[in-house]
Structures are given as C-alpha cells and as structure tokens.
Amino acid sequence: MARIVILGGTGYAGAHLVNEAASRGHQVLAVSRTAPESLPAGAEHLGGDLRDPAVLRTALEGADAVIATVSPRGELAEQGALRGIYAQLAEIAREKDVRLGVIGGAGSLQVTADGPKLVDTPEFPDAFQEEARELDAVLGDLRTEGEGLDWFFVSPAAGFGAYAPGERTGSYRLGGDVLLTDENGASELSGADLAIALIDEIETPAHRRTRFTVAY
C-alpha cells in the first residue's frame, strides 16, 4: 500500500485517480482549493493554494508518489505560472524522495515518428495553444532534471477530457512520444481508464524519467 497525493484531486482526471487509488487500498490525499462533496474510503482532502510552497511541502510529507493533474487555466493561465509551481513541486519531491507524475496533455506528442508535434499542426485548436505549450515546457524542464528526481510525464489521448468521459473498460495501450490512434484515426481514452493506467504505473513502475502516452 502506498501513500499517493493527487494535486487537483477534485478535477476530472484527479477525481478518477483518487477513486481508483482508494479502491485498491492505497492511502490517498486529494489536494485542491475546493473541498469535494464526498471522498471514497481511504481518501483525505487537503485544502490550499498550490502556489504556496508550504501547501506542497505539507502535502508531500510521508508520501510515496504525487500525481499532478492541474491545467494552466483560470488563475494559472498566465504564462509560466503552472511551470513555476511544477518546478517548485519537483524540488520538494526530490528533497523528500517522492516519485513525481505529471499529466500533461496531448499537444506535445508528435503526430508521427518524424512528424510535427500535435500543437504545431493546423488542426490544433487555437484556444488550447498556450495551454499545450506551457505543459510542453514543463516536460522540457523535467527532462533537464538531475538524477535525484524520479519522475514521469503522461500525455493522454487527444480526445481525453470531461467533454468525452467515456466508460471504464479496464484496457488501454501505452506509447512513447507519438500520438496513439485507432484504426479509424481516433485518439480516445476515458478518465477511468487513464486512472487505471496511472495507478498501475505507481504500483509497478515501468516509466522512469520519461514521458509516455495512454490511449485505446
């Protein structure tokens, strides 16, 4: 049993992670500014602003792993805001010997092995350009980290999100830096199945200091 911290634990991806981890018997701490209406057995909530390093330090005390699910939106939409929080998080995780996972969107994935990043294609929505580039910068920062930090960065399918919740299937495919699509060209994944993949990774680490992608 591990102690797993979920930053943004009341959001779409975060709530699925809290439920999945708790259902497997892990100790779970959901961190967010707003308290959830309810939590599964085995889960706790810590309220606080992630821009406050003291909140991050408190959250990671005694943790085995932390998964950050926050997006650069709302108060964190300013360029560099989320990147700064994640840099601080990485420093604290290294200091406390906590494994760090970051959910970072599909925009930084390449469309083919020798092709452009998804964010650089004409089809990529303008409304999500800045968000995708901020998360790509976070990945770049992690890739320059020294050996002292055990991290992974996850890019879900392009069609992942609360707008397409899907269903829990218990199955998924893993890839590297290239977008995964099915035989029809679709790239999809439910919130529940992303959570399965990530808690599987926490329980049986297969991706250390690297990015991977998850899709059907």
Residue 130 near residue 79 (C-beta atoms within 8 A):
yes
Instruction: Domain 3-215: state its class.
Output: alpha beta
Mean pLDDT of 184-198: 97
Indicate the pTM of the whole model.
0.96
Mean pLDDT of 26-32: 98
Predicted confidence (pLDDT) per residue in 129-148, tens digit:
999 999 999 999 999 998 89
Q: Residue ranges of the domains in the chain?
A: 3-215
Per-residue confidence at 65, pLDDT binned at 50, 70, 90? very high
* Residue 135 pLDDT: 98
Predicted confidence (pLDDT) per residue in 68-101, tens digit:
999 999 999 999 999 999 999 999 999 999 999 9
Output the CA–CA distances (angstroms, integers) from residue 15 to 20, 62, 91, 212, in the order listed.
Answer: 9, 21, 25, 21
In 63-189, at which residue ranges do the beta strands (DSSP E only) sit?
A: 65-68, 99-103, 151-156, 173-175
Predicted confidence (pLDDT) per residue in 38-54, tens digit:
999 999 999 999 999 99
CA 107, chain centre distance (Å): 14
Give the SS3 label for residue 46.
Answer: strand
